[in-house]
Every structure is written in structure tokens, then in C-alpha cells.
Chains A and B, each alone.
Chain A
Amino acid sequence: MRTRTPPGLQVLRTVVIADDESSMRLLVHATIESDDYCVVEAADGAEAWAMVQQHRPALVLLDVQMPGRSGLEVLRLIKADPSLAATRVILLTAKAQETDIESGLIAGADFYLTKPFSPLDLLTRVEEALQL
């Protein structure tokens, strides 16, 4: 776990970034870096789910293809947990086929972005999801 926001600001809402590619985590983190929320990173699905349970984040940015648990699995776990009803989920996917998008949306994701995506677009979606 790596955090870029200073500790002690736990009152802030948390955003979880889950991606197995460090370059992608860096990109997403750099894009959405903000004082309004705290960002934590997970390198695979299992870690992501652990962080979701720990931080009860307002938003989760999930890469679909990850070792361990896939992004879709984590998404299903979040949606199955009533205490996480407020948690928003944005999927980041390298898959671009219709079926993939459908399965992602049916599972209850709020939005998805296909790689490569525009960081500005991502930021817009994040702010929307957090209703900033």
C-alpha cells in the first residue's frame, strides 16, 4: 500500500486505485491527485478488495485484468455488500468489445474507460462520481 496523501486526514473520502501495472497506477494517481480525497493503490484484485473493506472508499478505480481477483470479481463483491452501497466504481479496461462493456455495466459499474484513455476525461469522471 502506498499513499500520497498525508496521514491524519482520515476524514477525507478515499479513492482506491487497483491496477497491476505500476505505470498505470502512477498515471491514474497523478491524474486524480487532489486535496479533496485520499488516494490508495492496490496492485492486484485481492489487495484491492482488502483496501475496499478497510477504507470503505467513496470511489474505486478498477483495472479489469488483474492477477488474483479480476476487477469484475472485486466489483461484484462490492455490489454484493450492502454496506458499500455508496461506493462508486469506475472500470478501466483494455478490452473494447461490446460484450465486455455490457458485462461490466451489468455488474454495476458506474462508468468505464477504455485504455488508452484521456487523463482529463478520467478526472471528469472521477469528479462526477464524487459529486465534487
Chain B
Amino acid sequence: MALQRDGRERRHQPARQGWSLRNYMALFMVVLLGVAGLAAFAVRTMAEMDAQQTAMADANFAAKTAATEIATDFTLLEKTTDQLAANPTVAAVLSRAGSCGLTFTPGAFSKGHLDIISSDGSVRCSSQPLPKGPVYGLSDWLPVAMQSRTTVAPFLDPVSGEISAVVASPVGAGLGIVAAIVTLAPLGPSLAASLGGARHLEFLVTTKDSRTVLTRSIASARWVGADLAGTPFARSGGGVERPDVDGTDRLYAQVPVASTAWIVFAGADKAAALAAADQLSNRSIAIIVGGVAIMLLVTSVVYRRIAEPVRRLSLVMRGSTAGDAVKAVGPTGAAEVTNLAWDFDRLMATVKHELADRLTKEQKALVSERNYRQLFESHPQPMWLYDVHTLCFLKVNDAAVERYGYSREEFLAMTIRDIRPPQDLPKFLELIATAQPQLDKTGPWRHLLKDGSTVQVLITSHSTTFDDHEARLVLAEDLTESQQLELELHQSQARAEANAELSKAKDEMVSMVSHEMRTPLASIVGFAELLVTRKVTPAQRAEYLGVMLQEGRRLTALINDFLDLRRIEGGHLTMRFAPADIQALIKRGVALVADPAGIPIQIRVPSNMPLVRIDGDAIFRVVANLLSNARKYSPHGGEIVVGAAVVADMVEVYVQDQGLGIPADALSQVFRRFFRVDNPDRNGIKGTGLGLSICKNIVEAHGGTIGVESDGLGKGARFHFTVPLARETARTGDVLVLEDDSGFAHLLQAELTGLGLSSTWAADAETAERLMIKKSARAVVLDLLLPGLQGEAFLHRLRIKHGAEIPVVVVTLKDLDPAESLVLYKAGVTAILRKGPGMAETAARMIAKSLTAESQAAELVTG
């Protein structure tokens, strides 16, 4: 069942293993954004690298070109000075004073002048106005230049006042020199103008040792001739990427100038290169972002067209009724979704139809249930439900409240015993103690109303369950006059029918019994006649008399059994049920049939057997009968086992032997009257053929069953019967009646009930002890002569276990001598009464009085 339900639920609620479309969309977007981010990053990185590489290439190219240009320029200058120095005119100019003129085109150098300088340092001829005096006399390069061609830089030209470079060639032998003096400062900007372009290139030309600036493209005036030491450029030590003298990061390429051994640095502005790259990458990123935005837009549109309608459709399916589906999805969804919605709507329409149908049915069921309830609640006759175990009212209808006078609350606090007059209680309890049929009609009963009056009612009841209670529904019908007449008529008819049946059965019985009696009677009469009419030997006489005695006894047993059976079958033997200890009863039965010569009978009864509700005398008879049969039909000995066990709500008692057994065809007949198994192996075994029939009747009167199993002749037999467990009643008895005479016990109980005292009866001391443990009665009526444990012993144990306070009244047939009486009085017995007429009433009054005194004493103590 559980499995099935699980399966059904699984069908209704599919395991959410997959992602929702929304999740997939989200994941898609995340991936998209991630890829876009990565792409942007890659674009930027690549653009930067590209920009740096381009910048480096530019720088390299620029540096090389610059170096070549400088070298070319200087070569040109050298050629110019060499040619001029070799010109005889120059030597003439130097050797004799006179005027001369020179023209000089500085080429790459924007400014400069060509001079013919004498050995003392004075300018003899110049491309510009002549300065006065030996202006170059102090220049340290002059002596060197007198010897060979020399290139010197930097050098502060005293004529122009600018940092300059000098290319000087000697003229003749010590006559003087031809010197081209060019200003260095414009070189840098000139290089930048022709090579730098828009590349943000910085040109820096230094001396061979990279310590002194010869020219620079940026702020050349400031840096020409300056010492590099201390600048960020020098500090960085070298490498491609280094700051320039101002601290701006640049990418440098360096190339030496071929003729002068100067070094040309071309530095690309890194920031500018990167800025360009950034610009580029920014554009790319802008494109990516645009693409992503378009993708998101597309996704969102798709989502809105598919996922959103599906979600809404799902919501509609979960929570809404038919018809909303299409409205919820609308005409905006994708065609497939819209179709799905339409399909769903059609499905929902069908479901709605079905649902409406079912609702109508449920409503009908509700109405029907209400109608049924009204059948109970508004039934004109009193009705109620009660729990069959506790006897408590579970539900009463209005008519019951009105008729009986109790309020609903009062009813629900009562048991069904409380509406019976006390004198009817025993009969009532007997009725409910027996297993009631499914549907039962009983009555007339007398019921007590709240005002104390009684009414005659017919009870119709049937078993049912109510709120997990095992219950009976009861309809109490007032007995009208005509009904009463009808009932009486019916009863008399039933009686007549029963009588007819009974008389037929009686005839049959009479015929059978007369037949069974004839054999022993024939022996007795026959032998008696022989003894009277013949002369017999003493041995014969003894033999005949022995047979007569035996047959006479047999006849007596037969008559007794027969009468018992008649009583039981005719319903004249009233069973008086009381709680009883089955173990004690079985032990007494075993003691009765015990044979010191034979194998002891085994008793197998669990120690914790619950009490049974039986007529102790009757069931004792059954046990004794089965045990004596087991003994009788085990002529060769063999183990006999008697045991008991709880089976469902009954106790099963069994007697197992290993004797002669019963053939299969006879098993079903052994409980019939006068049936005896026909087999030579049991010819010598006497029996009336009534014992098992009596047993069957007794057991059935207890609501139990009796049966037998046997594997066949010589294989033994197992007889078993069941008796009901004693039910826990809602109220415990005030008084425990320990009395083995069921008739007197009944009388006592009736008297106690009349005095408003409830009572529990036990037919033996063993049962009484167990009842005391369970219920602890407030007083005890005690018989002394008991089966099993005797009254005195019980009293002794009672005082030990339950103290001296419980009042005990002894009612007995036993003749007590003064000493015995004294012992009893010492044990706290209130009174010792001799069993006889009227004594039940006396005993009950004494008990009531002692209990009143006790409660008054208790009140005094508490007061």
C-alpha cells in the first residue's frame, strides 16, 4: 500500500532533476558575459602588446635612421673640412693675413659656422663675421686638431655661446685648422621633425659613454650638454623600457653613430602607445558589449516568448482552474507554446467538467452523510453508541437525552451499567459477558431514568466501530402496550416451539437413556434373582455381588451425568461466571485424577496466565473429565500433558495423552451423547458416553469451543477447549466475595449490590489473590472451605500483603472450635457467620457497616 502511494506521488510530482529554462537562460547569460569579458581582456592585452611592439619597431627604425643621418652629416662635415684644409688657398690665408670669405651650409645642423683657425686660436676666416682675438686659443681640442682630423662634442662655442660640436682638420704643418662648428641643440628637434612624426618619439643623442647629453628632441635647450647622472634615465640603468630624463616611461632603441661613436636613443612614449592601443581596444570592447547586449535582448525576447508563457502555463496548471490558461499565456507566446496552452485549456475544460461532476457527487455524499447523522441525531427513539470494553457511552442522540433526563455530558461520563436498576445488573452483566451476536434484539429490559423511575424497553443493538472503539449501536424502543402483548405472544410462541423441540429431544433422550440403563439394570436384577433363587458358592456370591455393585455405581453415574446434561441442555443449570485462575483449577483437576502408581501428569501453564472468566465448578468438571478420560484410555500408561495458553482473546486448555487414540471417522462424533468408540482395545473401559457431551455443553455455554485431534488408533489424542479471558471492567469491585459455592456467592453479590456496593467474586483463593493484586477490594467476604488454598491461609496472606485494615467477614459451613475462632478473630475478622438462610444478607450488611465506619474514620483523619 505504502509502495503504491509512493509511486502515485512520484507520478504527480516528478523529481526535479533538470534545470528550469530560466536557469539555463541565466547560465547562458553568465557564459556569454564571461566570454565577452575574456574577449575584451584578450583584445586589450593584444592591443597593448601590439602597440608596444609597433612602438619598439618605430623606435628602432628611428634610432637607426637618426644614427645614419648623423653619421652622414658628420662625414659630410669631415669631407668639407678635409677638402678645405687641403686647399692651398686656406694655407695662404693662414700664412698671410688678409680677408677671405666662406660660405657654410650646416645641412642637418640648422646652425653652425665654418672657420679657418690659426694655431693660436684666432679665427682667420669664417662663414660668419670674424670674432676678434684668439677665441679658440683655450680650446683643448685645438692642439689635437693641429695634428689630425678631430671631432669633439660637446663644446661650448665661445663665439656663438652654444653647446656645439667641432669637426676640425689640420692645415699644412702647424699652420692652423679648418673647423666646422655646429650647434647641437637644434639637432634633436630636427631629428624629431624629420623622423619622429606623430609617434611621440624622443631622440636623445649622448656621448659614447652615455653620460652627457649632446642633443635631445624635447626641451633641447635645457638638456644640451647636460650631465645625465642623477636623471631617472640614468638611474634605471638600461634596458628597453626605461623612463626618460623627465621620468616619462618610454621604449628605447639605441644605435651608435658610426663615425663619432655617439649613441642615439629613440624612445617611444609608452603611455601614448598604450593610449592608442586602449583606444583601439575600447572600440573593440564597445563592439563586444554591443554584441552581448544584442544577444541579451534576443535571449530575453526568446525567454519571454517561450519560458515566461510556459511558466505562466505551469502556474495556471498548478493553481488555477480551466480557462485561465489561454488568458495567462495570451497570444504573445511562441506558436508551440500557444498551441500547448490551447491544448491545456481543452484538457482543463475536460477536467473541470469531471471535477464539477465529482464535486456534485461529493456534495451528494456530504448530504447523504448528514442525512445519516440526522438519522441518528434526530431519530425519535433513544439511540446511543457504547464501547464494548469499557461500557462507556460514546455518543447519544437527542431522543436519549430527552427520554432519560441526563444531559449529553452526563451521559458521556456514564457507562451503560448506570442506566440499569441494580437488581437487573447481574443478569445484564451476564448478557454482555457472553459474546454478543452481530445484530441482537433483546428485552424487555428495565432502564433507569434520571428521575429514578424505570421504563421498559426493547433493545436492538449491533456491533460496529466508532472512532477506533469496538462499539455497539443501540436503539432503545419503549415497550408499548400492544408491543408488550405482542412480545408476550411471541415469547409464548417461542416457548411453545422450544418446548416442542425440547420434548422431542427429551423423548429421544428418554429412549436412549432407558436403553443405556437396561444393561446395568439387567445385571443387577439378574444377579439378584440368581442369588435369591439359587444356591451359590461363596466365591460365586462374591463375584455376583461385585458385579452388582459395579453396575449399580455405573447406573448411578449414568443417572447423574444424564441429569446434568439435561440441566445444562435445558438451560436449567445457570452458569455463574467469575474471574478464575486457570492454573489453580488445572492443578486441582490433576490432583483429583492423580494416580500414585502412574506417570505424573505434566502441567504446562505459563506463570503469567491472565485470569479467565468462567463458571469454576463447570470448567473444573470439564478439566477433570478430560483428565480422567486421558487416564482411562491410556491403559498401558503413557505421558499425559495438560496445559493452557492464550490464543487470541481466549485461553485454550488442552489435555494430551498417548493412549488408545480415536479413529478418524469417530473424531467428529465423540461429543455426541452416548457415543463411544467401537473398538476391541477399549472393551473393558466403562463409560456412560455422556462425559464429553456434558463438556461440550459447558464449554459452549462459556462461548468457547471444544475439539479433539488424534492421529488414529494407538496414537493418543489431544482434547482442547477455549474459555474467555476475564475482561477488565471499568469499575473495580468494592467487595471481594471468596466463596466456592456459586449459589451463595450469587446471593451475596445480589445483597451487596442492593446496598450499593459493587463486588467481584472469586471461587478459589488463588484467583482471589490475583484479583486483590489487580483491583484491591475494600472488603472481603470469606469462605473457609475452599478448593486448593484454604480460607485461613488466604486470610493470613491477605494480612501480610494488604495490611490489617481490610474488613473481612467469614461465612462458612465449617465447624470451628473456639481455638480456631480465636485465631480468626486475632487475624482481624469482623465476624464469623455460619452459612445458612438469611446469612448472605447479614454478611452484606456487616460489610456495608464496616466500610461506612472505615470511611467515617478516614474522614475524621482527613478532617
Chain A interfacial positions (CB closer than 8 Å to B): 20-24, 26-27, 30-31, 43-44, 65, 67-68, 94-97, 114-120
Contact = CB atoms under 8 A, between A and B. Distances in A.
Interface string B46-67: 0000000000000000000000
The 4 closest A-B pairs by CB, nearest first: A67-B678, A115-B522, A116-B522, A94-B518
B519 interface: yes
A21 B676 CA distance: 13
B418 to A, nearest CB: 58
Which of B521, B680, B684 gathers the greatest number of chain A CB atoms within 10 Å?
Answer: B680
Interface string B507-545: 000010011101111111111011001000000100110
Interface residues of B, number: 28
A115 B530 contact: no
A20 B519 CA distance: 10
Which of B519, B523, B551, B683 gathers the greatest number of chain A CB atoms within 10 Å?
Answer: B519
B529 A94 contact: no
B516 to A, nearest CB: 8
Contact of A116 (B516, B524, B540, B684): B524
Nearest to B511: A97
B678 A94 contact: no
B515 A119 contact: no
A23 B683 contact: no
A3 B449 CA distance: 82
Which of B529, B543, B547, B678 gathers the greatest number of chain A CB atoms within 10 Å?
Answer: B529
Given A115-B521, A116-B521, A94 B515 contact: yes
A27 B678 contact: no
Contact of B680 (A27, A67, A95, A114): A67
B678 A116 contact: no
A23 B527 CA distance: 10
Contacts of A22: 683-684
10 contacts: A21-B519, A27-B522, A44-B683, A65-B515, A67-B680, A67-B683, A68-B678, A94-B515, A115-B522, A116-B525
A23 B523 contact: yes
Contacts of B514: 96
A27 B533 contact: no
B482 interface: no
B543 to A, nearest CB: 7
Nearest to A19: B519
A30 B540 contact: yes
A65 to B, nearest CB: 8
Contact of B543 (A26, A94, A119): A26
Contacts of B13: none
A84 to B, nearest CB: 24
Given A67-B678, A94-B518, A96-B514, A117 B684 contact: no
A24 B679 contact: no
A20 B683 CA distance: 7
Nearest to B684: A22
B462 to A, nearest CB: 48
Contacts of B684: 22
Contact of A115 (B519, B527, B544, B679): B519
Contacts of A114: 518
Contacts of B529: 118-120
A50 B551 CA distance: 29
Nearest to A114: B518
B680 A43 contact: yes
Nearest to B527: A27
Interface of B: 511, 514-516, 518-527, 529-530, 533, 540, 543-544, 547, 550-551, 678-680, 683-684
A20 B679 CA distance: 11
Nearest to B523: A23
B713 to A, nearest CB: 13
B522 A30 contact: no
A113 to B, nearest CB: 9
Contacts of B533: 119-120
Contacts of B526: 27, 31, 116-119
Which of A22, A23, A24, A115 gathers the greatest number of chain B CB atoms within 10 Å?
Answer: A23
Which of B518, B525, B550, B551 gathers the greatest number of chain A CB atoms within 10 Å?
Answer: B518
Contacts of A119: 526, 529-530, 533
Contacts of B516: 94
A96 B516 CA distance: 12
B635 to A, nearest CB: 15
A2 B379 CA distance: 82
A100 to B, nearest CB: 10
Contacts of A21: 519, 523
Contacts of B522: 24, 27, 94, 115-117
Which of A24, A68, A97 gathers the greatest number of chain B CB atoms within 10 Å?
Answer: A24
Nearest to B536: A30
Contacts of A97: 511
B530 A24 contact: no
Given A30-B544, A31-B530, 6 more contacts: A23-B547, A23-B550, A27-B527, A68-B680, A116-B522, A116-B525
Nearest to A67: B678
A43 to B, nearest CB: 6
A15 B802 CA distance: 76
Given A21-B519, A94-B519, A30 B680 contact: no
Contacts of A67: 678-680, 683
B621 to A, nearest CB: 27
A69 B673 CA distance: 21
B842 to A, nearest CB: 51
A67 B685 CA distance: 13
A114 B522 CA distance: 9
B519 A27 contact: no
B547 A44 contact: no
A97 B524 CA distance: 22
A5 to B, nearest CB: 16
A23 B130 CA distance: 194
Contacts of A115: 518-519, 521-522
A90 B592 CA distance: 44
A32 to B, nearest CB: 11
Contacts of B515: 65, 94-95
Nearest to A28: B526
B125 to A, nearest CB: 184
A67 B683 CA distance: 9
A116 B518 contact: yes
A40 B692 CA distance: 35
A95 B529 CA distance: 21
B284 to A, nearest CB: 123
A44 B544 CA distance: 22
